C-alpha cells in the first residue's frame, strides 16, 4: 500500500466504528473484521516509515491489565498504543494491590478513576473482560485473552497474515475478504482449552472459510453443537486438504497435560512433524499464535520453515492492535491521523468525545 493511500484511509471521515468494546470476534461481524483488516493495512504502511508513529491518540491513556503471563500480546498492545502516541500504563498483578486482596472490581474502578480511556484486559477466567466492560464507565475494554474463551485480536492478526501471504503469492495488494471464501482452515491441537481456536473459528467462518478441527477426542470441547466446524476423521487427509494449518499449543497451565497419555505420544500422533509437513499442499500456510513449544506441537525444524509464519504474525499483531485501538478510541476522523508526528511538528490532534 502506498503512503498516500494509507493516509487517505486513516484520514477518512466518517469512518465505520466498532465498539464500544472488543470482547469477542462476534462483536465485529464480517464487516467489522473487514474494517479492522483494512485499517490495519494502512497502519502496516505507517510501520514501514522512518518514524513509525502517528499522533492519533495523543492525550489518551491506555492501560494494560494483565492477570496472566504474556510476552507478545502485552508488548504488542503497548507498542501499538505508543505508536498512536497515547500514554500507556502497565498493570501486572504480581506487583499490584491484588496481592493484598483487592478485588477485580475495585482494581478496575481504581484504574478508571485515573481517567483511563482504554483497558486492555487479560484474565485466566473466561468472561472477566465482559465483567470489566460492565463496570467501566468511560473506558473502552479490549479482551486480550480470557481463560478458554476468546482472544479476538489474535484471530484478527491471523486473518490479516493469511490474507497478506495469499496476496503476495498472487502479486496483488491485500484487499477485501474474498480470499477467505471457501478457504480450508485446519485448527490442530488443544482446541478444548484454546481461546485462540474459539476466536479463529468465529473469524474465519464469518469470512466464509471452512474450518476443520483435528485433535485427540480428549482435547476437543465436550460439545461442538452450534460450532461452524467439522472434525477431521483422519489427520493425514485433513493436512493434505488444508490451505491453512493453525497450530495450537498444549495449554499446560489449564491442565491439558492430564488429557494426553504423554507428551511423546501427543507429538507422535498430533504434532506437526517433518513427515506430516510433507503431506501438506505446496500452497499451505502454517500459523502459530505463540509461544511455540518446539518438539511438542511442532518440531523444531518445521518451526523454522518458510511456510511457518509465526514471526510475521507477531509483526502484524502491532498493526492489528493499532487498528483496534484507533477504531475504538479515535473514530472522529481526526485531522493528523496517519501523518507522522515529525510532520505535524508534534502538534498532535484532537479526538472527539467517547461513545458509550
Ligand atoms: C494465548 O494467550 O492464548 C496465546 O496467544 C496462545 C497460547 O498461549 O498458546
Separation of CA 72 and ligand 1 centre (Å): 9
C-beta of 76 in contact with ligand 1 (< 6 A): no
Residue 348: predicted pLDDT: 30
Q: Which of 69, 121, 196, 298 maximizes ligand 1 atoms within 8 Å of its Cβ, making it the mutation to test the pocket?
A: 196
326, 341 in Cβ contact below 8 A? no
| Residue 249, ligand 1, Cβ within 6 A | yes
Q: How many other C-beta atoms are found inside a 10 Å radius of the C-beta of residue 88?
A: 18
* Residue 167 pLDDT: 98
* From the candidate CATH numbers 3.40.50.2300, 2.60.120.200, 3.40.190.10, 3.40.50.1370, the one assigned to the domain spanning 3-150+316-341: 3.40.50.1370
Q: ∠ CA 217-219-225 to the nearest 5 degrees?
A: 75
Q: Whose CA is nearest to atom 2 of ligand 1?
A: 145
Q: How many whole angstroms separate alpha carbon 193 and alpha carbon 221?
A: 8
Report the pLDDT value the prediction gives residue 11, as an integer from 0 to 100. 80
Given this model, what pLDDT does residue 17 score?
65
Instruction: Say yes or no: CB of residue 154 within 6 Å of ligand 1.
Output: yes
pTM (2 decimals)? 0.91
Residue from 68, 125, 154 whose mutation best tests the ligand 1 pocket (most atoms within 8 A of CB): 154
Q: Which triple of cell numbers denotes residue 242? A: 488444508
How far, in Å, from the CA of 66 to the mean position of ligand 1? 13
CA separation for the pair 284, 250 (Å, rounded): 22
For cell 496481592, the residue is 99
Alpha carbons within 13 angstroms on the beta-carbon side of residue 130 total 13
Q: Are strands 210-214 and 118-123 parallel, antiparallel or unpaired?
A: unpaired
252 alpha carbon – ligand 1 mean position (Å): 11
Q: Is the peptide bond before 20 cis (omega within 30 degrees of 0)?
A: yes
- pLDDT score for 10: 82
Q: What are the residue ranges of CATH 3.40.50.1370 in the chain? A: 3-150+316-341, 152-311
Q: Of the residues 70, 125, 249, which should be mutated to test ligand 1's pocket, given the most ligand atoms within 8 Å of the CB? A: 249
What is the reported pLDDT for 330? 86
Mutate to test the pocket of ligand 1, among 195, 255, 257, 287 (most ligand atoms within 8 A of CB): 195
The whole-number pLDDT of residue 7 equals: 83
Q: Is the CB of 196 under 6 A from ligand 1?
A: yes
pLDDT tens series, the chain, 356 aa: 888 888 888 887 556 668 899 999 999 999 999 999 999 999 999 999 999 999 999 999 999 999 998 889 999 999 999 999 999 999 877 767 777 778 899 989 999 999 999 999 999 999 999 999 999 999 999 999 999 999 999 999 999 999 999 999 999 999 999 999 999 999 999 999 999 999 999 999 999 999 999 999 999 999 999 999 999 999 999 999 999 999 999 988 887 888 888 999 999 999 999 999 999 999 999 999 999 999 999 999 999 999 999 999 999 999 999 999 999 998 644 333 444 444 433 333 222 221 22
Residue 289 Cβ < 6 Å to ligand 1: yes
**What class has domain 152-311?**
alpha beta
Residue 70 CA: which ligand 1 atom is closest? 2
196 CA closest ligand 1 atom index? 3
User: Looking at residue 18, what is its pLDDT?
Assistant: 83
Amino acid at each position: 500500500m502506498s503512503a498516500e493511500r494509507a493516509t487517505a484511509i486513516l484520514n477518512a471521515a466518517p469512518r465505520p466504528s466498532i465498539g464500544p468494546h472488543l470482547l469477542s470476534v462476534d462483536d465485529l461481524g464480517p464487516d467489522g473484521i473487514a474494517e479492522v483488516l483494512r485499517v490495519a493495512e494502512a497502519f502496516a504502511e505507517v510501520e514501514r516509515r522512518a518514524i513509525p508513529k502517528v499522533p492519533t491518540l495523543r492525550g489518551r491513556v491506555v492501560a494494560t491489565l494483565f492477570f496472566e503471563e504474556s510476552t507478545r500480546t502485552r508488548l504488542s498492545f503497548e507498542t501499538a498504543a505508543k505508536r498512536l502516541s497515547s500514554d500507556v500504563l502497565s498493570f501486572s498483578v504480581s506487583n499490584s494491590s491484588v496481592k493484598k486482596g483487592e478485588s477485580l472490581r475495585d482494581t478496575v474502578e481504581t484504574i478508571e478513576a485515573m481517567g483511563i480511556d482504554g483497558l486492555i484486559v487479560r484474565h485466566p477466567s473466561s468472561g472477566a473482560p465482559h465483567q470489566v466492560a460492565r463496570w467501566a464507565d468511560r473506558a473502552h475494554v479490549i479482551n486480550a485473552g480470557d481463560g478458554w474463551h476468546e482472544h479476538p485480536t489474535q484471530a484478527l492478526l491471523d486473518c490479516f497474515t493469511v490474507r497478506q501471504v495469499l496476496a503476495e503469492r498472487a502479486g496483488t495488494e491485500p484487499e477485501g475478504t474474498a480470499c477467505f471464501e471457501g478457504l480450508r482452515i485446519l485448527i490442530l491441537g488443544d482446541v478444548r482449552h484454546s481461546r485462540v481456536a474459539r476466536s479463529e473459528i468465529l473469524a474465519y467462518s464469518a469470512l466464509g472459510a471452512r474450518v476443520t478441527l483435528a485433535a485427540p477426542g480428549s482435547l476437543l470441547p465436550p460439545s461442538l453443537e452450534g460450532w461452524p466446524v467439522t472434525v477431521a476423521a483422519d489427520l493425514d487427509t485433513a493436512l493434505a486438504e488444508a490451505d491453512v494449518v493453525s497450530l495450537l499449543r498444549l495449554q499446560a497451565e489449564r491442565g491439558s497435560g492430564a488429557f494426553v497419555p504423554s507428551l511423546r505420544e501427543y507429538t507422535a500422533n498430533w504434532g506437526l512433524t517433518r513427515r506430516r509437513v510433507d503431506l501438506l499442499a505446496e500452497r499451505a500456510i502454517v500459523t502459530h499464535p505463540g509461544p511455540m513449544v518446539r518438539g511438542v506441537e511442532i518440531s523444531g525444524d518445521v518451526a523454522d520453515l518458510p511456510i511457518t509464519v509465526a514471526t510475521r504474525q507477531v509483526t502484524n499483531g502491532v498493526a492489528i492492535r493499532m487498528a483496534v485501538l484507533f477504531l475504538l478510541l479515535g473514530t472522529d476522523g481526526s485531522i493528523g491521523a496517519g501523518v507522522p508526528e515529525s510532520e505535524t511538528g508534534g502538534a498532535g490532534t484532537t479526538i472527539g468525545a467517547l461513545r458509550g
